[in-house]
Amino acid sequence: QTGPVIDMPVPASFNDITQDPSLENYIGWVWYEKEVLLPLRWLQGDPAPRVVLRFGSAHYYSIVWVNGVQVVEHEGGHLPFEADISSVVQGSPGSLCRITVALNNTLTPHTLPPGSIQYMADKSRRNYFVQNIKFDFFNYAGIHRPVVLYTTPAAYIDDITVTTSSSDSLGRVQYQVSVVGSTANSLSLSLRDQEGKVVATGDGPVGELKVLNPNLWWPYLMHENPGYLYSLEVRMQAQLDGTLLEDVYTLPVGIRTVHVTSSQFLINGRPFYFHGVNKHEDADIRGKGLDWPLIVKDFNLLRWLGANSFRTSHYPYAEEIMDLCDAYGIAVIDESPGVGIKLPESFGNRSLQHHLAVMEELVRRDKNRPSVVMWSVANEPASELPPAAHYFKTVIAHTKALDPSRPVTFVTDANYALDHGAPYVDVICVNSYFSWYHDPGHLEVIPLQLTAQFENWYKTYQKPIIQSEYGADSVPGLHSDPPMMFSEEYQQAMLREYHSVLDKKRKEYVVGELIWNFADFMTNQGTTRVLGNKKGIFTRQRQPKAAAFVLRDRYWRIANESSCLPPAITSHSIFL
C-alpha cells in the first residue's frame, strides 16, 4: 500500500543485500514490517502475562509501532532496547501482532558515533549529499541483531547485579536483585557449579553468597580451566491480586577480581598481559548482521592464534559474542560507540548527555560479565582540544559510579603532552602506526619512536600502558623482498619491529598489545582503500596472511613464558 517493498533478512545490514547501488550508501529513513501470531496463552489470564518486544540493536535511531501504536523510541545502535507491549496486544482483537520499525542511520555531531551531512551543491553536477564520518569502517545500517518476543509474569525479576571477590580459599558473590510489579514477594537464590551441585544459597534482594575453595574465572591460557562459570538461579514468588506468581532467571557468574597498579594489570591477583586483537562486526553480504557460523569461526581462530583478549572496537558487540567470551575465558575491553569524536561541537553538553546515557545502557547490559575487565569510553577522540578535559572527566567518573569494580580507559592517538583526557583513565591505551601513517616505508624508525612513545607516556602518568592498535595493510598474495608497503612481508616486518620493543617494555609497565586488525573489513570508498581496510592478519573471509603466523608464534611463546597452559586436546566435543 505504501509503494515498492523488498524482502530484508533480520538480522543483517541492508546495504549489501541487493544489487541497488543507491541502497549501498543510503542515508535516511527505512521501514521494516513483520506480522506474527501470538500464542493465545500470552493474551489471557488474570493477571495476564507481560509481553515484551526486544531488539538486540538497530542502527541508529528507531521508532517502533505494534498494531499501529507507538511503543518505543531509541537513539543509538549497538545496544538493546525493549518495550512492554502487553496493553497493545492484549487489548487488540485476535492474536495478530504487526511490528513496524522506522529506522534512520543519519549521524550528526551529537550522535555516537558522530558524523555530519554535507550537501554538494555544485551546479555542474547533480545535487547530492554525503554522510561525513571520522572513522575508518563502513557505516552499515539495519536491524543487526535478533528481534524477539518474550513473556514474564506480571510481577517479575527486572535486574540482577553481581560483583565478586576472593581471598585464600573463599569466594564471595555479592548480589542485588530488583523486582517489579509486586512488593509482596520473596526471593531465593542458589549457586551451582558446572556439575550442577549447589555450592551456596541465599535469600532476599541483597546479600552475599560464600563459596569454599572456588573455581576462579581465569582468562584463556592463564589457567588449565579457563572461563569457569557458575550458574546463579534467582527464583521469585509474589502475590498479586490473590494470585501466586513465579519468575526464575539463571545468570552465569564468574568469580574473579581485577586490580590495576602503577605498572601492572592484575586478574585474581596475578599479572595479566593482553596479547590479543582488535576486531569488527563485519563480513561479506550480512555486513554487521549477527552470524553464528562466523562468530564460532572467529573464536576458533582466536584460540588457534593464542589470543587471550580483544577490544570491542569501536562499539559494543553482540551479546552472543560476549557470552562466548565469558565461556572461553577471552578478556574484553568493552568499548562504547564513542569513535570519531573530532568536532568541537561533539564535546558540548548535548553530546555529553547522550554519551552518559549510552554508558548507562552498556554497563547495565554487560556489568555481570567476568570477561569484561575494563570499560573504554571512546576511541581516538580529539582529546587535545580543551573541552575534552571536562568531557572525559565527566564520562569516566559517571562510568566508575555505575561500576566501581572495573578500571576505565579511552583509547588515544594524541600527543602525550597535549591529551586532556588521559589524567582520568586507569590504563593508558595508545594507538600508533609508525612506518605506516608516520614515516611510511621506514621500518627503521619504529624502535626509536615506539620506545620514546612508551617512555614519555609512563614518565608523565605512571600508569600501565597498552599498545591498543598497531599494524600495516597487506594485500593477500602481494609479495616483496625487500619488504615494500602493502606486501605481506612488510606487514610481517612491521610486527617484528614493534614486538622487539614490546618485549623490553612488557618487563616494566606495558601490560598489553592488540593488533589492528583481526581481519580485513569494509570501509567507505577512497583512494587509500581497495575494497576496505587490509590491516587484518586474516582476510575478510578468515584466511590467514603471513602475519597471522608471526603473531601466533609470538602469542604462544608469551603464554608459555608466563601461564599455565591447558592440556593437549585429544578429542572434540560439540555443543549445540
Task: Write down the pTM of the prediction.
Answer: 0.95
User: Look-up: residue for cell 535486574?
Assistant: 159
For residue 264, tell me if it sits in a domain. no
Which of 226, 253, 280 terminates a domain? The answer is 253
Q: Tens digits of per-residue pLDDT, 160-186?
A: 999 999 998 999 999 999 999 999 999
Are 191 and 246 members of one domain?
A: yes
How many CB atoms are located within 10 Å of the residue 117 CB? 12
Rg of the chain over CA atoms, in angstroms? 25
Are 177 and 215 members of one domain?
A: yes
Which of 225, 253, 281 terminates a domain? The answer is 253
Mean pLDDT of all residues belonging to the chain: 94
How many Å separate Cα 104 from the centre of its chain? 22
What cell was used for 78? 549497538
For residue 12, tell me if it sits in a domain. no
Task: Output the domain CATH number for residue 544.
Answer: 3.20.20.80
Respond yes or no: is residue 380 known to be catalytic: yes
Q: Tens digits of per-residue pLDDT, 4-39?
A: 899 999 999 999 999 999 899 999 999 999 999 999
Q: Number of folded domains in the chain? A: 3
Q: Tens digits of per-residue pLDDT, 276-334?
A: 999 999 999 999 999 999 999 999 999 999 999 999 999 999 999 999 999 999 999 99
Task: For residue 417, name the pLDDT band (cuts at 50, 70, 90).
Answer: very high
For residue 93, tell me if it sits in a domain. yes
Are 383 and 422 members of one domain?
A: yes
Q: Return the pLDDT at 66.
A: 96
Q: CB within 8 A of 149, min separation 6: which ones?
A: 36, 38, 51, 52, 53, 54, 97
Cβ pair 378, 262 in contact under 8 A: no
For 164, 195, 268, the CA distances from 209, given in Å and listed in that order, are 9, 18, 18
Are 223 and 308 members of one domain?
A: no
Q: Return the pLDDT at 574.
A: 46
Are 202 and 284 members of one domain?
A: no
Are 189 and 282 members of one domain?
A: no
Which of 205, 221, 253 terminates a domain? The answer is 253
The domain in which residue 485 lies consists of 270-562
For residue 85, tell me if it sits in a domain. yes
Task: Output the domain CATH number for residue 186.
Answer: 2.60.40.10
Task: Output the domain CATH number for residue 68.
Answer: 2.60.120.260
Are 177 and 310 members of one domain?
A: no
For residue 470, tell me if it sits in a domain. yes
Averaged over 390-418, what is the pLDDT?
98
Are 437 and 545 members of one domain?
A: yes
Averaged over 376-391, what is the pLDDT?
97
For residue 10, tell me if it sits in a domain. no
Are 141 and 212 members of one domain?
A: no
Are 288 and 435 members of one domain?
A: yes
Catalytic residue among 82, 380, 469, 497: 380
Are 427 and 492 members of one domain?
A: yes
Q: Tens digits of per-residue pLDDT, 101-150?
A: 999 999 999 999 999 998 887 666 666 788 989 998 989 999 999 999 99
For residue 573, tell me if it sits in a domain. no
Are 180 and 305 members of one domain?
A: no
Alpha helices in 32-146 (DSSP H): 86-90
Cα(335)–Cα(182) distance, rounded to whole angstroms?
36
3-class DSSP state of 192: strand
For residue 415, tell me if it sits in a domain. yes
